[in-house]
Every structure is written in structure tokens, then in C-alpha cells.
Structure 1
Amino acid sequence: MTLRSSTLTLPLKLSRRLGPERAHRLAIGALSVPLVARVAGWAASADDDGLAVEALGRRFANPIGLAAGFDKDARVVRQLGRLGFGFVEAGTVTPRPQSGNPRPRLFRLPEDGAVINRMGFNNQGLDQFLERARRLRAGSGPGFPFGANVGINKEGADPLRDYAHLVRTLAPHADYLVINLSSPNTPGLRDLQQADRLRELLDAIVSAAPARPPVLVKLAPDLADESLPGIVEIVVQAGLDGLIVSNTLLARPPGLHGPHIREAGGLSGRPLKPRSTAMLAEVARLSAGRLTLIGCGGIETGSDILEKLQAGADLVQLYTAFAYEGPALLGRLKRELRQALQAGGWSSIGDARAAGRSVVHIAGER
């Protein structure tokens, strides 16, 4: 085993013998080591023009992003980008530090390629996140688009005040911002997706931060389909830029395996893909090109990425597959995505998305 591969894979192998939360801390710690950061840069999978995407006023070297939740405190954003992600989203960050929900709060479902979490926005708070974001943006910046995902504290929150403050504070230091209204682990948070409350909240954000980068809203997959037209129109009318579809799932699809399937929290990974992709296609139909869409939920293969793109996504995000597979995932996904494009007769992602707008093929509706 070479130095490059062993430095990246040994922590992953060790992590599989640990509890999931300890494994996550190990991964963040490993990426914080300068040697690992350098090796990550050497080992990163290559991009080419066929994988490039123009979205949110930026060029993305590839459409594959890391979703919020992995690097909650923006500690290793630059190192994660060097692994080959096209963009990295840090957070969720809240105005004040909080420890999150009691442990255990993170559970693997390995047979299903899934995870259940009820972390509860554990993070070090806005002040520390802001300082790291400032350092990240200093000079020429990280070299790839960086997003910041924001939420509210479990106690003492005023959503209109707090989201506006978070957006206004972080606006100069991120390429895009995400309003997280869809975590199932903060009581009352998902109620902010209701039409009247959403309209009031987005108006407050826009008023507080007229000079801001693109702002997106992250939606819950448990939303009823009949609520989607109203949500899309409110986001468009408020002047926001996009939606992330979707966050984790409260429902439990049939056929899950293992001792943790009844644990409370949000389900991510493979079982989420049918619902998140179907919801993405509907949101794409409703928004009709007026919003940038990021598809998230259940991505494990290059074909999964292509499916999200053809369902209407401009970009995609993943987390659970990365937690299971580690840095090697990025190279495999890019190879498989290129193969899927070639099999379809497309030379670029833009060609494939144009074809997908004509005939959308959705897994789970076969």
C-alpha cells in the first residue's frame, strides 16, 4: 500500500470499528493533520470540461458537492475540497453554540446504505464558524465554491431575527447560503415551511441582507406534494435563488434492516432516493427554470447522479455514501458519471440535462 492510499484509507478502516459519532470525529481529526491534507490534494480525482457546471453565478468543476452536516464548524472545508468535491457546504451553524441532543444520536444501517441521525444542530456557534469562514476566503479563497448552511438554536430562538442575522453576518464570506428549515431534530423547525411563516421569514431575510450571495432553502422530503406549488412560488417571489431537495426523511420505508430502524431521527442514504428524486422532479416542473436546484438524497453511483441531473438538478450533494466509503468515493463517482454520459451519447452534463428535460426517468416510479 502506498503512502498516499494508506494515509487516506487507514483512518476509514479504523472508523468502521468505532461508533458512528466517534468515527466522524476521527475523520475530521484526520483531515486536520497537514500530511493528510497534502495527500488529499495529491490523490484527488481529476475533473474535465465535460463535468463542469455553471450555476449560482459560479463555475463548478464538477456537480458533486458535500452536503452540510459533515463539517459543521467549517474546520476542514479546504481539505474536503481537495478530495475532489465540486463544492463543499459547511454547517448547520446556529447563532449560539449548542451541544445537540443526548447520545446516542447517530445510527448506521449498513445493509441499507443508510444512517439515522438526531444530532440536533450540535455546533460551536456563529462566532467560531465566522472566523474560519473569513480565513477560508482570505487571499484567493479555497479554489471551489463554499456554502454555509444556517439554522436556529433549540432554545431561545427567534426565527426572523436569527436567520436574518446569520445571513447578514455570513453573506460576505460564502459563495452561497442555505436556510435550513427541514432538519427533523429541532422542535418546530419544519413548521417554518408552512406558507405564511415561510413568506414572512424570507421577507425578513431579504430585507436584512440586500447585498448577499445566492440563498437557497433546504426542504424536507416529508412535505406533502400539494404544498410544493405554494413553497416554490414563495421562494421565487421572495427573490431567493434556489432549493435543495431534500433533507432527511422522518418516514421509514418498508424493508429496512438492523436493530436501529425504529430510532427517532432523520433517515438518509439509499432508502431516501426514490422520494427525494420524485420530489426533485416535481419541484423542477413547478419552478420551470426560475430556481437553481440541488438534488440530495441516496446518491451512491454515477448513474444516481445522472438521474438527479435529468430530474432537474443543476448540482447534487451527498453525505451518507461518503461516510461509508470515504475519499475513494469521489474518483469512482466521476468515472461512473463519465461512463453514464458516454452510454447516453452525451459529451457533457449540459447535454444530458437538456435531454432529461424532455424525458425524465425517475427511479421509484417504475
Structure 2
Amino acid sequence: MTTLATEIAGRTFDNCLMNAAGVRCQSIADLNKLIDSTAGAYVTKSATPVKRAGNPSPRMHTLPKGSINSMGLPNEGLDYYLDFVLQDQANRPGTTNFLSVAGTSLEDNLSMLHQIQDSAYTGFVELNLSCPNVPGHPQVGYDFDRVKTVLTAVFDFYTKPLGVKLPPYFDLVHFDQIADILNQFPLTFVNSINSIGNGLVIDPHAEKVVIKPKGGFGGIGGAFVKPTALANVRGLALRLKPEIAIVGTGGILNGQDVFEHILCGASMVQIGTQFGYEGTQIFDRISQELTAIMAAKGYTSINDFKGKLKTFDD
């Protein structure tokens, strides 16, 4: 019997697939659809302390193999999402979901995490250190000293399961450097990757950029980013201590893409751009495709192949 169940920090999920923060998870209606789907969990839209409208439109553009966006963290504010996950926790005891937070300053993040720490919420929190689409605010994930400062301040008081969402890294020494920092803290997971920041797409007929914010610069997602996402999952899986699970995100179109993320070391896989295009039915389709791949290879669980990518040196 083939199972897609997975485990992070001793908590079991029936399916290793879930949504990525930012897509179809902003409203209660969106989140209830995820609850009713076959996804193993959901993550809420990355929250700021108060409701945020985000960047002006057009701020997202569809591409043949993905998308470019500069959304600017539109969300309903932390209270909205914390109230939702607390109600869900009461209605479905024993389940674990992910509450995402993305303050635009250290003070914002600490304030939100204090509020979550003081609440009855027992699920996972995803601290987003990679927000490439907020004008005037650099990605914390690219400033390694800043990452250490943030995590030191967070774990001075925060005791619940917490992970971080990271930007993509493009140099092997950067994998070494960020892993050395992350391994110093009691993180539950890392989510890799967020979109590839500050790409540029042009409409050649209009001779114009396709999105308005930041002069047309925006995050790239979709099939374009899969090689970078796989490299980051693999690079971190080889360097992080075993108790830090990897959540793989980026370039998921089908079951083979998920298989490759897990082969690189992911315990769970989030789907963003393509989930936006297909809706919750995507979890049924990709679950069936992944199950078929596993059955053909004689695998009955994802642990049979997780992190077992071969190289020519093996």
C-alpha cells in the first residue's frame, strides 16, 4: 500500500503536499477550501501586524511557464489568521497547520511572535525571511548577520514549533554560511525557496514592463525556478542538522517534480504558482501522479527515497 504520509517534528501529515503562502490562502473562504481538499496541511497568507493592501496593480502577470509578481504582502493582518487557525485547531484537534508571518521589520516580527507565543496556538509558524516584493525593504535572508540577529531575538522567548522561509541562494559557500547559522537554533523546518527575486518581464509589442510596482521588477515563480529550488533543497538538506526538516517549494507542475524535491531531501512540498492556476484539484492530480511513480519504482512511502539522490561519485 503506497502512502504519501510524512512527518515533521513528530507530527504526521496524511499527504506531503500543501499550498505555498501567498496563493489562494488570503481569505477564510480560501483556507476552508484547503481544509476540504486532499492537501496534507495548509499555510496561511504571510501576515503583517495589521491589514495591508499591498502594491498597486497590475502586480502579477502570467507567463507560459510560470509568473512574475510584486504583490507587496496583501493580507488581512495577524489577528485574522490567528483567529482562524485557533478555531480550526479547536474544530480539528490533532491536526497541524502553518501560520505564516512576514513583518517588514524585526519589531513587527517579534511583536507578532509574542502574540502567537501567548496564544493557545500549537501549530507550526513559518517566519518569512524572504519578501522580495516589498519596496524599500531588503530580503533579510540575504543578510546572514541579520538572520542571526533575528533568530537570536526570536528564540530568546519563542518556544513553539517554528521554521523559516528562505530566499534562493546561488553559491555553494552561501549554503555553508546560512546552514551554519540555522544549525545554531532550534528550528523545526526551513522552507526553500521563495520566488527568485527581481526578475524583469517585458511586453515586446508595447515595449513596456508587464507589472507596475518597482518599475516592473518582480519575483519569478513556476517551472522556471525548479532547478534553483532543487539545488537549494539539496544544498540545505546536506548541511542542516537532521532535526531541521526541509519543506521544498518551487517549480511544481506534476508528480515528477514532487518526486524530485523529495529525492533532494524535502519532507513536505508546497505548490504555489500552479496551485493558483488550477485550484485545490491540483492536490488530487499530483497525489495520483506521485503515487503512480512510487508504485512503479516499488516505493511504499516517501522515506524510501527521501534525500537519496545519487551522484556520479556514489
| TM-score computed with the length of structure 2 as normaliser | 0.87
| Partner residue, 2:102 | 151
Please state if 1:359 is matched with 2:313: no
- Given candidates 269, 275, 279, the residue that maps to 1:316 is 269
SS of alignment partner, residue 59 of structure 1? strand
- Given candidates 34, 52, 72, the residue that maps to 1:80 is 34
Shift of 1:74: 5.0
| Partner residue, 2:114 | 168
- Conserved 8 A contact 1:245-1:296: yes
- Given candidates 117, 131, 146, the residue that maps to 1:197 is 146
State how far apart, in whole Å, the 2-side matches of 1:144 and 1:207 are.
27
Q: Deviation per CA, 1:36-71: give whole Å up to 9, x if none.
A: xxxxxxxxxxxx761111213211101001111121
Please identify runs of 4+ aligned residues in structure 1 that moved more than 4 A. 251-254, 256-262
Change (3 A) 1:75 1:258: farther
- How do 1:99-248 residues align onto structure 2 when only pairs under 5 Å count? 99-109=53-63, 111-112=64-65, 114-141=66-93, 144-153=95-104, 157=105, 159=106, 161-171=107-117, 172-186=120-134, 187-209=136-158, 211-212=159-160, 214-222=161-169, 224-248=171-195
Q: Percent identity?
A: 28
Shift of 1:131: 2.2
C-alpha RMSD of matched pairs (Å): 2.6
| Partner residue, 1:271 | 224
- Report which structure shows greater RCO (CA 8 Å, sep ≥6): 2
Shift of 1:343: 2.0
- Conserved 8 A contact 1:177-1:216: yes
| Partner residue, 1:59 | 12
Q: Which has the higher helix share?
A: 1
Structure 1 residues without counterparts, runs of 5 or longer = 1-47, 362-366
Shift of 1:175: 1.4
State how far apart, in whole Å, the 2-side matches of 1:294 and 1:224 are.
20
| Paired letter, 1:357 | K
Change (3 A) 1:264 1:61: same
Mean Cα displacement is larger for which, 144-153 or 99-108?
Answer: 144-153
| TM-score computed with the length of structure 1 as normaliser | 0.76
- Conserved 8 A contact 2:6-2:16: yes
State how far apart, in whole Å, the 1-side matches of 2:15 and 2:155 are.
29
- How do 1:251-330 residues align onto structure 2 when only pairs under 5 Å count? 252=199, 263-330=216-283
| Paired letter, 2:115 | T
Structure 2 residues without counterparts, runs of 5 or longer = none
SS of alignment partner, residue 87 of structure 1? coil
